[in-house]
C-alpha cells in the first residue's frame, strides 16, 4: 500500500465525502470542512499509523493532503 493510499484511508475515517470526490491538492478548508481540530486528530492518526512524531511547528506547512503525503514520504525515507 502506498503512503498516499494509507493517508487517504485514514482521512476517510474523518470525513463523510467519498474519496473519489477529493483532489489531494485541495485546501483542507474545502475538503469536507476539515477544521483545525479535525486536522489535529488526522495528524495524530497518521503519526500512529506511520510511527512518526510530527512537531507542532511543522503543522503550519500542511495546507493540502498532498502536503501531508509529501511530508510523510520524506520522513519515511530518512
Give me the average pLDDT of each 10-residue run along the chain (78 residues).
Answer: 91 80 82 77 94 92 92 88
Q: Residue 52: CB partners within 8 Å, gap ≥ 6?
A: 46, 72, 75, 76
Residue pair 12/24 in contact by the 8 Å Cβ criterion? no
d(CA 49, CA 26): 23
Cell of 53: 512524531
Q: Residue 72: CB partners within 8 Å, gap ≥ 6?
A: 3, 7, 46, 50, 52
Supply the CATH number for residue 27's domain.
1.10.1200.10
| Total tally of structural domains belonging to the chain | 1
Per-residue confidence (pLDDT) for residue 32, from 0 to 100: 64
Range of the structural domain that residue 43 is part of:
3-76
pTM: 0.86
Amino acid at each position: 500500500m502506498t503512503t498516499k493510499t494509507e493517508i487517504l484511508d485514514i482521512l476517510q475515517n474523518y470525513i463523510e465525502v467519498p474519496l473519489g470526490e477529493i483532489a489531494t491538492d485541495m485546501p483542507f478548508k474545502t475538503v469536507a470542512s476539515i477544521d483545525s481540530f479535525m486536522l489535529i486528530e488526522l495528524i495524530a492518526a497518521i503519526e500512529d499509523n506511520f510511527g512518526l512524531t510530527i512537531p507542532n511547528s511543522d503543522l503550519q506547512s500542511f495546507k493540502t493532503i498532498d502536503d501531508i503525503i509529501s511530508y510523510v514520504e520524506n520522513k519515511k525515507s530518512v
